Amino acid sequence: MTGLAPLRHPLLEEADSRLLEIAAVLAEGDTGLTSYRIARLAAYGRALLIDGLIQSCEFDQGLYHEMLMSPAAALHGNLRKVVVVGGGNGGILNKLQHLPGLRAVRHVDLDPALAELCRYHMPHLQPQTPFPFDYRMEFDDPHAWLVRQRGDLAGWADLVLLDLPDAAGTSYANTVFETGTLAAAADLLAPGGLLATHVGHSHPASVGFQASTTARLRHLFADVVIYDQYIPSFAVPWGFAIATRDRKLNGFAGKSMARRIAALPPTMRRHYDHTTHLALLHRPALLRDALDAAARTTTNKETTT
């Protein structure tokens, strides 16, 4: 179906929707694991939708992927080994492949059929191969994979990247955001290692998911920083988190970040520079108040499920 179509905001109430013009539907269906649509949106180019929610758009996918990984890469400063969970559409590897000094990537995603569809219909997302590092990809349930890798990859990763779809409905992302799975991801970190993930939208009218996810991260990790970036195709600010088990992240707001960001390859800072970074440090009062109110009602159950 082309023409104007109502699309829901990710993770907001079903009644909160907007109209976007769909210029063409390139593919749609159900792989048995994922209900998907790949369409060309008049305003944002080629887009991947899962369960009716926009996951990636050609116009601003680079902005999303840089906000997810570039701050963590700059903060760490010496990434050698990375675990990627999700991101089968190729976008995060498209950024990651340019990181100098990277030696190995272990990657797991749920759906091989959807990954193949993205390779065909969304070529702008695809990285160049062969990679200049050791790359191993598996298709598996990410929750089960993370729990299993607690043995083989314990203490292995400088960075664990959770590039997950929205934790809405029956999405597999729900199980990855549970405390037990986040703890398994934390066990893969080497000393000084970082975990980077999105934490859902930062809409002050509906902060429950971000508040509970942030509470779980703070329960498991020694320090966590949360920041936001407006993603035009999502039509809302989006929340991201960096977490560490064994140190303080004071450097995120430190003067050295300008130098660290400048040291990133140009492909990882097309949308992320030091001016943008400074803006990430300041969240609006309306959002902070909403999150504080939600945090006061967060139960112990939310930090142990």
Return all residues near 18 (Cβ < 8 A) that are at least 6 apart. Answer: 6, 7, 9, 235
Return all residues near 175 (Cβ < 8 A) that are at least 6 apart. Answer: 141, 142, 143, 181
C-alpha span between 256 and 98 (Å, rounded): 22
At 222 the three-state DSSP class reads coil
Q: Give yes or no: residues 209 and 250 share one domain.
A: yes
Query: Residue 109's closest CA among 159, 62, 185, 163?
Result: 163
Residue 41: domain span: 3-57
Q: Give yes or no: residues 53 and 67 share one domain.
A: no
Mean pLDDT by 10 residues, the chain (305 residues): 58 66 95 95 95 92 97 97 96 93 97 97 93 96 96 96 87 93 97 97 90 96 97 93 94 94 95 96 94 79 49
| pLDDT at residue 303, rounded to an integer | 47
Q: Give yes or no: residues 224 and 83 share one domain.
A: yes
C-alpha span between 21 and 3 (Å, rounded): 5
Q: Give yes or no: residues 107 and 17 share one domain.
A: no
| pLDDT at residue 180, rounded to an integer | 96
Q: Give yes or no: residues 163 and 122 share one domain.
A: yes
| pLDDT at residue 2, rounded to an integer | 63
The pTM assigned to this predicted structure is 0.93
The CATH number that applies at residue 36 is 2.30.140.10
150, amino acid identity: R
C-alpha span between 45 and 60 (Å, rounded): 9
Q: Give yes or no: residues 239 and 142 share one domain.
A: yes
Q: How many folded domains does the chain comprise?
A: 2
